[in-house]
């Protein structure tokens, strides 16, 4: 099967992905991105995330020495929404369903949405990334994520908190300083809501957790595992869409990050550093990606239908300057990938966990 075009089913999204194993052999005369920039300095006096610097709205950062979080100065959502008027100027309160003047038309529907957008700086060092930070430093980031989640959960209207990072200009990062974001919303976003339905469907039909069952299969086959430790497993999922996409799954069935014990939090820091180092080593360049943690909705008390996991979606395909484009059939038909997940996993397995920059400086083997 792996040598021929075929489809694979994604049970989390309830959709199919087309796998075209030989398509990556085609000659490339398309768009080539600029090579990644040279290493950044430890401190940038014009960076609005560095300690002590002034941000765009005039607020000055404290001279922080570990992690630092603040409300996004250009937030996509606000915790208070003004009352909104429909096209007929009828006054509607926040959260009320908004329609066009025709009450029988259910095709044009909108709804107010509140939210809080937080920025989390991972380090005071402008030149670091998660791959270049020590495990205890990443553990501080994990603790900050958990503290932020707990604080957002005290707001009675917040239903979900999504922890994520966009790394690199190719993924739309507006600043190279190591940072991520947390968006808290009063509704469950589309992707977690879809996964919640998948978890519930699996529980109803088979009486077990979807990701616990999947974890067991991947452990038994040992084909797509990239790296692992006592508490987490990083795997190129059987149904991956992006060329080097990975799924990070907790071994213990926990629904949210704050349920991790002290040892598991250390393990999460460890596997993040190791996984992202492997990404950087693949093309010996800073590897762009979007990474986000999916966990149980804040107001949901039962942990049965949720299993903590993270998705890592990197766009690179052939090199540090050639990416995968989701166009044509991918946009209008079904998702499609150009190499098998097994091939992607074997390449990530082969590169090792000593960062290429350290090998270059010291001449050390990986």
Q: Which two tokens stand for residue 84?
A: 């909104």
How far apart CA 334 and CA 233 sit, in angstroms, is: 28
CB count in 10 Å sphere of residue 205: 8
Catalytic residue, from 177, 179, 309, 355: name it. Answer: 179
- Cβ atoms of 293 and 162 within 8 Å: the answer is yes
**DSSP-derived pairing of the beta strands 246-250 and 225-228:** unpaired
Radius of gyration of the chain (CA): 22
Residue 9: which of 244, 299, 318, 18 has the closest Cα? 18
Within 13 Å and on the Cβ side, how many CA atoms surround 278? 26
- Cβ atoms of 276 and 130 within 8 Å: the answer is yes
Residue 15: which of 311, 293, 334 has the closest Cα? 334
Residues ≥6 apart with Cβ < 8 Å to 316: 170, 243, 244, 282, 283, 287, 288, 322, 323, 324
- Examine the residue annotation and report whether 179 is marked as an active-site residue of this protein: yes
How far apart CA 317 and CA 67 sit, in angstroms, is: 32
DSSP string of 282-336, one letter each residue: HHTSPPPEEEEEE---TT----TT---EEEEE--EEEETTEE----THHHHT--E
Residues ≥6 apart with Cβ < 8 Å to 98: 84, 86, 92, 109, 110, 111, 112
Catalytic residues: 179
């Amino acid at each position: 099967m792996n040598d021929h075009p075929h489809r694979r089913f994604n049970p989390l999204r309830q959709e199919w992905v087309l796998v075209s194993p030989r398509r990556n052999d085609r000659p490339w005369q398309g768009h080539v991105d600029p090579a990644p920039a040279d290493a950044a300095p430890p401190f940038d006096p014009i960076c609005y995330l560095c300690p002590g610097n002034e941000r765009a709205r005039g607020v000055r950062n404290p001279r922080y020495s570990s992690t630092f979080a603040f409300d996004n100065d250009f937030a996509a959502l606000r915790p208070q929404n003004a009352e909104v008027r429909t096209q007929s100027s009828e006054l509607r309160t926040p959260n009320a369903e908004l329609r066009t003047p025709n009450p029988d038309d259910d095709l044009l529907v909108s709804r107010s949405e509140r939210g809080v957008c937080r920025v989390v700086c991972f380090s005071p060092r402008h030149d670091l990334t998660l791959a270049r930070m020590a495990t205890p430093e990443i553990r501080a980031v994990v603790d900050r994520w958990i503290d932020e989640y707990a604080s957002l959960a005290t707001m009675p209207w917040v239903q979900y908190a999504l922890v994520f990072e966009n790394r690199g200009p190719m993924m739309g990062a507006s600043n190279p300083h190591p940072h991520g974001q947390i968006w808290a919303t009063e509704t469950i976003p589309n992707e977690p809501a879809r996964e919640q339905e998948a978890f519930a469907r699996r529980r109803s039909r088979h009486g077990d957790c979807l990701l616990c069952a999947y974890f067991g299969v991947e452990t038994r086959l040992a084909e797509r595992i990239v790296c692992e430790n006592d508490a987490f497993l990083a795997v190129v999922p059987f149904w991956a869409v992006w060329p080097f996409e990975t799924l990070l799954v907790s071994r213990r069935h926990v629904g949210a990050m704050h349920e991790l014990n002290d040892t598991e939090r250390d393990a999460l820091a460890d596997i993040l550093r190791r996984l992202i180092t492997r990404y950087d080593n693949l093309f010996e360049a800073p590897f762009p990606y979007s990474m986000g943690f999916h966990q149980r909705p804040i107001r949901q008390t039962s942990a049965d239908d949720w299993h903590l996991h993270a998705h890592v979606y990197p766009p690179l395909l052939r090199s540090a300057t050639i990416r995968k484009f989701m166009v044509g059939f991918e946009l209008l038909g079904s998702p499609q990938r150009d190499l098998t997940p097994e091939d992607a996993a074997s390449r990530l397995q082969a590169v090792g966990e000593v960062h290429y920059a350290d090998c270059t400086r010291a001449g050390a083997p990986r």
